[in-house]
Amino acid sequence: MKSFNFILLVIFFSSAFLFSSCNNLSRGKAKKLVLSKIDKDDLVIQFNVEYTTGRIIKEPRFGQGVNLNNLINKGYLKLDEDNRHVILTDKVLPFSKKINNMGREIWISVANFKDVNITGIQGSDKLKKVEYEKIYKLNALGQEINFNANSSYSKRYKNSDGDIVYNGSKQFEKYDDGWR
């Protein structure tokens, strides 16, 4: 009889623990959710291309002027005669691609997506805000030009490992079948 009561007690507490933990959003679950919702594209320096001439405008988007000088100094880009446009060299081609709007943007990859680190979870039983760090590893080009992650347009910085880190957050809501 004692063993039967003990078994019932174990079943009761383990099922209570199991059902009470179903509403919790653990860091592991949060990481899987965040990874399913974020883009994992490379970190890039973006240049606009003039629609009429197809020439690449010298000033990169989003305040990347420091990186522009490093790209030129390391031989990835050359200045055009007018000093208002740049030309891609063969050295940069493996890291670059034309993007959207009929090729009106050039993206030069400087880092590849590495991982996500969950830094905080807050909220109610039904709604959670998950804060995370999106981590990028510098590729060969990013290392050679000593890519400057600081930008007035985003919340990026270099960590102690030399990786680029971007802080972000996502909202998730609890449904009967789980968090979405």
Asked if pLDDT for residue 36 goes beyond 90, the answer is yes
**pLDDT mean over 95-115:** 84
Of the chain, the percentage scoring pLDDT greater than 90 comes to 51
125: tokens are 């039983």
61: tokens are 């988007």
Radius of gyration of the chain (CA): 24
Check: CB of residue 147 under 8 Å from CB of residue 136.
Answer: no
pLDDT value at residue 4: 58
**pLDDT mean over 120-131:** 96
Measured distance CA(47)–CA(2) in Å, rounded? 75
pLDDT value at residue 59: 79
Check: CB of residue 138 under 8 Å from CB of residue 163.
Answer: yes
16: tokens are 């209570």
Measured distance CA(50)–CA(105) in Å, rounded? 9
